[in-house]
């Protein structure tokens, strides 16, 4: 069974637009990628268990360090 944890997706470093509990890392990456593809004009990054697992920036550096 895969490890599960908290998942959060952010727009422009400060606005949480996705979140979930008991999510696998694979599912967290998939959910973030699908939402990033659906919103191509937005810079998006996602974390799983507090670690960044996905990042797509439309303007380099907009998501922060």
**Tens of pLDDT, residues 29-47:** 999 999 999 999 989 999 9
Residue 20 has a pLDDT of: 93
Identify whether 62 is part of a domain: no
Domain presence at residue 61 = no
The per-residue pLDDT for 65 is 56
> Please, which contacts does 46-55 make with residues 24 or more away whose CB atoms are closer than 8 Å?
46/7, 46/8, 46/9, 46/10, 46/18, 47/7, 47/8, 47/10, 48/5, 48/6, 48/7, 48/23, 49/5, 49/6, 49/25, 50/6, 53/25, 53/28, 53/29, 54/28, 54/29
Q: Give the pLDDT of the chain (65 residues) as one tens digit per residue.
A: 779 999 999 987 678 888 999 999 999 999 999 999 999 998 999 999 999 999 998 878 766 65
Domain of residue 10 covers 4-56
Residue 65 forms part of a structural domain: no
37 in a structural domain: yes
Structural domain count, the chain = 1
- CA-based nearest residue to 49, from 16, 10, 5, 3: 5
pTM: 0.82
Give the per-residue pLDDT at 28.
96
Residue 9 in domain: yes
């Amino acid at each position: 069974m895969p490890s599960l944890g908290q998942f959060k997706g952010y727009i422009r470093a400060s606005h949480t637009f996705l979140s979930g509990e008991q999510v696998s890392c694979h599912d967290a990456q998939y959910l973030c990628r699908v939402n990033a593809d659906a919103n191509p004009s937005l810079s998006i990054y996602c974390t799983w268990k507090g670690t960044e697992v996905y990042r797509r920036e439309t303007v380099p550096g907009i998501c922060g360090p």
